[in-house]
A and B are shown apart, each in its own frame.
Chain A
């Protein structure tokens, strides 16, 4: 009898322990996502007041003059992303195709390993490297340098997602095409890549959303510009750079503009992420 009650006590104790641990881990999850909610709340609250038509159409005003906007920074970020795409997309996608379609297991392991290590290189390092490669050589900060820095960051990201989605294409598709006598490269380009195109585009969009918010690699490549950029060989404004400059300035008016810029940037990044998640399911962070 005593034996049975003791066992019963012990059993309820164990169940209680399990429930307590579940509760604790649930609390951890809440703490982990709390900053997301807080950042989002404050960005909307402080940013919404300064977002108006001027913000999208006007240049920044000098200190002390209220108003003005970030039109040049918004366009600048889009230009930089376009330049980055020119490098990041072809290299990343074709490299991913090689890993998925041609490479031997050993070579792939090494390349994948290096790509993953490359993903861990701090973004500021890319800024320093491109400064040495481009800015020092041509003696000017430029949109090209900024675009190159962002493009190189995109390469390993796109390479890994492309490889992953291409591997999902069933082997029977390839076999069917080859059995019809279609050349291998045509099979890959027209059948395999086309089948995986949705996933590849998802990977590209996520990479763009990621580098679109990068500031560190642009500090001494694109450098920033208070005016319109008319020549890609000249410094160019970018939204994250402008937010950084305004955030660390001592002026209230600039702080308001920084929050508004943050609202636009966050909205852009989140829109891409949410849309991508609705249309496809792909891992956001290749590791």
Chain B
């Protein structure tokens, strides 16, 4: 073969090896990118839609919307304070109940429990997370509230009746009942996130403590919990985010009365429940605008809380990787 022939042959081989067109690759990449960018679009869409829907109310009431407590659709006077108060108090009650239980359960599942019992309990906690909110609410109305009204509430009143938060008549549907049902709803997420956090603590930490002769609990306390503090805080904040937005179950047990009362036996109202209850009844434009603004407030708060939670969780996830320790 002459040199020219060789060159020709090499070129034809090279031509055969280069793909005929990169169009498919480019198109596919852009298609998937567009879909991935949908999440950005969705966040912007929510904010824009809520702001647009409530622009007149924002103009009319301004900042006083957040700090006044008149909610009178007939007179078109709208103040969201009772709902903000209700959301804050019911979420706080939920956290007070759910956080110790969830973190203790997560500790049990990662550090203390015998191995064979871990997976069944983990599955059961995940099943609890799968119960639809409306079914928990149904159970709340017909089972939990009658029970609370007959046993724990009178007991609390007898023991702590001298404090302002456990006084007054016991109806059943109440701020406390709302807080308890939210606690049931957020326990699974706090538990499973805390479990992930504890699992990401490097074994070296534990081994070092064991080597010093620590007991199981001492290992957990000294080597694991102190190491995981920031991440556990993130799990709690994530739970708070869920608590603020819980709708159906709370709406069914909290009593839906816009008032600010010290007693937890009194009914309350939350931002999410007022939207759920009154949205389809909003007959005037300003009423609907006010409800959109309630939605905007709820969205703003949950986004902020979730941002903080994710920042805490994401930074801990990187810091705690075993590679960083070695």
Which residues of A pack against B, CB within 8 Å? Answer: 14-15, 17-18, 21-22, 24-26, 28-29, 31-33, 35-36, 38-39, 42-43, 46, 90-92, 94-99, 101-103, 109, 111, 113-118, 120-129, 131-133, 152, 155-156, 159, 181, 183-186, 188-189, 209-210, 212-216, 219-220, 223, 240, 243-244, 247-248, 255, 258-259, 262, 265-266, 269-270, 273, 277, 284-285, 287
Contact = CB atoms under 8 A, between A and B. Distances in A.
Interface string B175-193: 0000000001001110111
B25 A102 contact: no
A122 B302 contact: yes
Nearest to B104: A28
Contacts of B280: 219-220, 223
B128 A36 contact: yes
A210 B124 CA distance: 16
Given A28-B100, A102-B32, A122-B272, A117 B131 contact: no
A33 B124 CA distance: 7
Contacts of B86: none
Contact of B245 (A90, A91, A96, A124): A124
Given A32-B105, A94-B35, A183-B19, A284 B112 contact: no
Contacts of B259: none
Interface string B298-315: 110011011101100110
Contact of B310 (A18, A116, A155): A116
A33 to B, nearest CB: 5
Interface of B: 17, 19, 22, 24-25, 27-29, 31-33, 35-40, 42-43, 45-46, 49-50, 52-53, 100-102, 104-105, 107-109, 112-113, 121, 123-139, 141-143, 184, 187-189, 191-193, 196, 215-218, 220, 238, 241-242, 244-248, 252, 272, 275-276, 279-280, 291-292, 295, 298-299, 302-303, 305-307, 309-310, 313-314
B303 A43 contact: no
A285 B46 contact: no
B310 A113 contact: yes
Nearest to A93: B35
Contacts of A223: 280
A215 B36 contact: no
Contacts of B31: 94
Nearest to A248: B252
Contacts of B17: 181
A50 B289 CA distance: 41
B141 A36 contact: no
Contacts of A121: 46, 245, 299, 302-303, 306
Contact of A36 (B52, B127, B142, B302): B127
A54 to B, nearest CB: 21
Given A103-B36, A123-B245, A128-B292, A285 B132 contact: no
Nearest to B303: A117
Given A28-B101, A42-B143, A156 B39 contact: yes
Contacts of A156: 39, 42
Among A46, A90, A181, A216, the most chain B Cβ lie within 10 Å of the Cβ of A216
Chain B CB within 10 Å, residue with most, of A92, A240, A287: A287
A157 B139 CA distance: 27
Contacts of B132: 212-215, 240, 265-266, 269
A133 B36 CA distance: 21
A285 B192 contact: yes
Given A122-B298, A258-B138, A270-B127, A33 B121 contact: yes
A113 B314 contact: yes
10 contacts: A32-B125, A36-B124, A43-B135, A122-B272, A124-B272, A183-B22, A183-B24, A248-B252, A273-B126, A284-B129
